Amino acid sequence: MKHKNRIAIVTGSAQGIGAAIARKLSSEGASVVIADINGEGAAEVAASLPDALAVTVDTSSEDQVNAMVDACIGRFGKVDILVNNAAIVPFTEWDDIDFAEWRRIMSVNLDGVFLTSRSVYPHMRDAAYGRIVNIASNVFVAGTPNLAHYVASKGGVVGFTRALATELGKYGITVNAVAPGLTETEGTIASPHAEAFDFVQSLQAIPRRGLATDIAPAVAFLTSEEAAWVTGSLLVVDGGHTRH
Ligand code: NAD
Ligand code: 4PL
């Protein structure tokens, strides 16, 4: 039970990779806040886990993020782990991205990571313990097409991860990023990305589809106590697609 007595917030955990991370941390003993803009989906995941709390939150809203962290502290008294997983995964040709769409992706995928990190920080600093894991993507390594705004947002997430790791190391807080490759989730299956699985599989060292349960163990390592010496890193989890 590597995460016994640990309290974790996982954003975007009503489905997909976030739900798999929440289930994994819960199975290792953590109490998990299932935080998602889809409150109904969050409630369903929370109901399936022991001692989980569902919170409806738009992670791009400063007020809602602060209320989410208050709800966690109110229920559990602390926050040990933050997993920034919530994101929009778009599919838009580069010259069809208008400025409003660019801003929408940045506000959820990048601003949201800043807002949640800033909000949990005082609690982690005062406890002299914290684990922050940001979900990036291997598109930052590969420069994948039809996602330019998303690729830029994930590059921002990797940069912010490194800077925050530098700032927070002295407080016992580690900050790392995990970069999945194309992964079968409710989101990708329902989008044009579904068409890419065969091609991406042909590029991978391991020739099968990536699943959400392939990503969760990498996150669970970085959120564990024993990963104390790993900070500012980017762990690519993509079946050897990019070999980064
Ligand atoms: P998904 O679309 O299946 O699920 C995303 C979840 O985030 C949903 O429950 C959604 O309601 C929630 N969400 C969206 N916007 C939100 C907001 N503003 N506030 C709170 N919650 C919000 O996504 P997924 O495929 O599971 O991807 C999860 C993470 O993994 C994302 O960060 C994504 O960029 C990353 N990722 C996914 C893949 C992939 O191929 N699936 C590959 C690399 C990285
Ligand atoms: C390889 O993060 O990593 C498509 C869509 N293809 O969101 C991703 C790859 C997508 C990816 C991603």
Domain CATH code at residue 159: 3.40.50.720
Is residue 164 situated within a structural domain? Answer: yes
- Return phi, psi of residue 11, to 5°: -85, 150
- 196: Cβ below 6 Å to ligand 1? no
Is 1 a member of any domain? no
- Contact between residue 107 and residue 116 where contact means Cβ atoms under 8 Å apart: no
Q: Is residue 143 part of a domain?
A: yes
Paired tokens of 65? 């993020």
Residue 100: count of CB within 10 angstroms of its CB:
7
Cβ 210 under 6 angstroms from ligand 1: no
- Cβ of 231 below 6 Å from ligand 1: no
Tell me whether residue 2 is in a domain: no
Mean pLDDT split into 10-residue runs, the chain, 244 residues: 98 99 99 99 98 99 99 99 99 97 98 99 99 99 97 99 99 99 98 98 98 99 98 98 96
Q: pLDDT at position 127, please?
A: 98
Report the pLDDT value the prediction gives residue 225, as an integer from 0 to 100: 98
**How many domains, the chain?**
1
Nearest atom in ligand 2 to 241's CA: 1
Distance 70 CA to ligand 2 centre (A): 33
**Residues 230, 175 contacting (CB under 8 angstroms):** no
Ligand 1 neighbourhood includes 86 CB (under 6 angstroms) = yes
pLDDT of residue 14: 99
- For residue 74, give the amino acid letter: G
Q: Is 150 a catalytic residue?
A: yes
Which ligand has an atom closest to residue 154 CA? Answer: 1
Q: Is residue 206 part of a domain?
A: yes
Q: Output the residue whose Cα is nearest ligand 2's atom 7.
A: 89
Q: Are 43 and 21 in contact (CB under 8 A)?
A: no
HSE toward the beta carbon, residue 66, CA cutoff 13 A: 4
Would the pTM count as exceeding 0.85?
yes
- First-to-last alpha carbon distance for the chain, in angstroms, is 31
Nearest CA to ligand 2 atom 4: 182
Best residue among 105, 160, 185 to mutate for probing ligand 1's pocket (most ligand atoms within 8 Å of CB) is 185
**Residue 154 CA, closest ligand 2 atom number:** 2
Parent domain of 188: 7-237
Per the domain annotation, does 244 fall within a domain? no
Residue of 139, 157, 188, 200 best suited for mutating to test ligand 2, as the one with most atoms within 8 Å of CB: 139
Indicate the SS3 state at residue 16. helix
Q: Judge whether 107 lies within some domain.
A: yes
Cα(139) to ligand 2 centroid in Å equals 6
- The C-alpha atoms of residue 164 and residue 174 are separated, in whole angstroms, by 9
Q: Does any domain span residue 188?
A: yes
Q: Please state the three-class secondary structure of 106-151 as a single string.
A: HHHHHHHHHHHHHHHHHHHHHHCCEEEEEECCCHHHHCCCCCHHHH
The ligand with the least distance to the CA atom of 192 is: 2
Task: Looking at the CA of 142, name the nearest ligand.
Answer: 2
Ligand 2 site: residues with CB under 6 angstroms?
89, 137-139, 144, 181-182, 193, 196, 200
